[in-house]
Amino acid sequence: MINNPRIEHDYEQRYTVVDSDGNVGKGYRSIFITAEDIDTDNDGLVDYLDDDDDNDGVIDTLDAFPLDASEQLDTDLDGIGNNADSDDDGDEIEDSSDAFPLDAAESVDTDGDGVGNNTDTDDDGDGVLDSADSFPLNASESLDTDGDGIGNNADPDDDGDGVEDTSDELPLDATETIDTDSDGIGNNADEDDDGDGVADISDAFPLIDLAGLTDTDSDGIPNDCDTACIDLGMSADDDDDGDGVNDAIDLYPLDGRYAQDSDGDGMPDAWESAYGLNPNDPSDAASDQDNDGVMALDEFLAGTPPAGSLDIDGNGQYDALTDGLLFLRDMFGLDGDSLVNGTVASDASYTESTDIASRIELLGSFIDVDGNGQVDALTDGLLILRYLFGLEGDALINGVVADNATRTTASDIESHLESLKPGTL
């Protein structure tokens, strides 16, 4: 209890006085009201003892307006209670338009997720961060490829190349509109537009997909033409292997190495001539020049030479220090005594350098072991030498296969050399 409460208010009260003659007089007098006299909410408990002077349910210590039952909060501290204030947080956005009327730092919540746009990293809630979203306040758009202000979902020409997306095979690339072979590379950048394996610069029909049609010589004209091909004005290739001999008279129309077989023995003239056989003698199909037990015709069909093998000195053995070194020296260009000295076996059938050179020459392209079109000592020669030393796998090929080789794996190299090493001599 406060024993001697101080004066809380000093009021002037207006009064009226009427005398016996009926004259009216007016004046003011001071009325002193002490704390003991003030009970704002008339609840019978004077204010200085009342925890809630205005009886609004909010205790005075938490009430920005303890003597005004209609107000309790003043968020922006402007002296106007929130109930009367049209902009509670003082952010100059009317409460009726403010998604966060009590937060001066926020006023908009585009996606209605309860996080204001100033704080939200994805304002429109479309799953694309605002930093990467061309339309951060539009959940239906996030990209504008051509930067025309129209989002891709609504834009009929996303890349702005003048071709509508419905007709544009690469609608997000302004430099491309057509992808004939559907390989994901537009025709402007694609070096083989129709994907037929023939570069456009060499393709007579660069926009016609020859998929399913064989083009043996890769000249852009298929060996045989289908209906679609004919409808496009294309005719079938009359020289499928590109050897300059018309298919109608080419006995080997799919192999550019051969065209004629004059004696009809099943072996092409060019092949017979290369291996010392007679293109006009059909009986040599049964010959066995290298005495390996395999007839010439079978050698041709198997892709092996009818004469000559890795046994260059003809002693019936395949030896690295004789046959292998003879190959290597020959490929390095040595001849005469430099070719044969110290490298021909004591039991060799062929000892003269001219005979050795002839036997190597007889093998022709077969000693192009890696198949790059060249016979080279540091690739083909070393491959033969290693093979004859018994090396296999990586030990056989590491560092000695040419960059442009067509035979690159150990298994391919081994198979090729095995064909030059018949089991029976």
Give pLDDT tens digits along the chain (425 positions): 444 444 445 555 555 555 667 666 666 555 555 656 788 888 888 888 888 878 989 998 998 899 888 998 988 899 998 899 899 889 999 999 999 999 999 999 999 999 999 999 999 999 999 999 999 999 999 999 999 999 999 999 999 999 999 999 999 999 999 998 889 999 999 999 888 787 888 876 787 766 667 888 877 788 887 776 777 677 888 888 888 999 888 898 888 888 999 999 999 998 888 777 899 999 999 998 776 778 999 988 987 778 778 888 888 889 999 999 999 999 999 999 999 999 999 999 889 999 899 889 888 888 999 999 999 999 999 999 999 999 999 999 999 999 999 999 999 999 889 888 764 33
- E strand intervals along 130-273: none
Whether the Cβ atoms of residue 70 and residue 42 lie closer than 8 Å to each other = no
Q: Model-level pTM?
A: 0.40
CA proximity to 305, closest of 290, 315, 317: 290
HSE-CB of 198 using CA atoms within 13 angstroms = 22
Whether the Cβ atoms of residue 36 and residue 1 lie closer than 8 Å to each other = no
The length of the chain in residues reads: 425
pLDDT at 5: 46
| Rg of the chain on CA atoms, in Å | 52
Please tell me the distance from the alpha carbon of residue 309 to that of residue 208, in angstroms, as a whole number.
Answer: 46
pLDDT at 13: 53
Please tell me the distance from the alpha carbon of residue 275 to that of residue 252, in angstroms, as a whole number.
Answer: 18
Please tell me the distance from the alpha carbon of residue 235 to that of residue 226, in angstroms, as a whole number.
Answer: 9
pLDDT at 1: 40
Can you give 205-221 as a three-state secondary structure string?
CCCCCCCCCCCCCCCCC
| Residue ranges of domains in the chain | 1-37, 308-419
Please tell me the distance from the alpha carbon of residue 411 to that of residue 237, in angstroms, as a whole number.
Answer: 35
DSSP, collapsed to helix, strand or coil, labels residue 272 as: helix
CA proximity to 418, closest of 318, 301, 271: 318
pLDDT at 212: 66
pLDDT at 7: 43
DSSP, collapsed to helix, strand or coil, labels residue 123 as: coil
Helix, strand and coil content of the chain, in percent to the nearest 5, comes to 25, 5, 70
pLDDT at 378: 95
C-alpha dist (Å) from residue 79 to 71, 121, 384: 11, 35, 102
pLDDT at 425: 36
CA proximity to 119, closest of 100, 97, 95, 144: 100
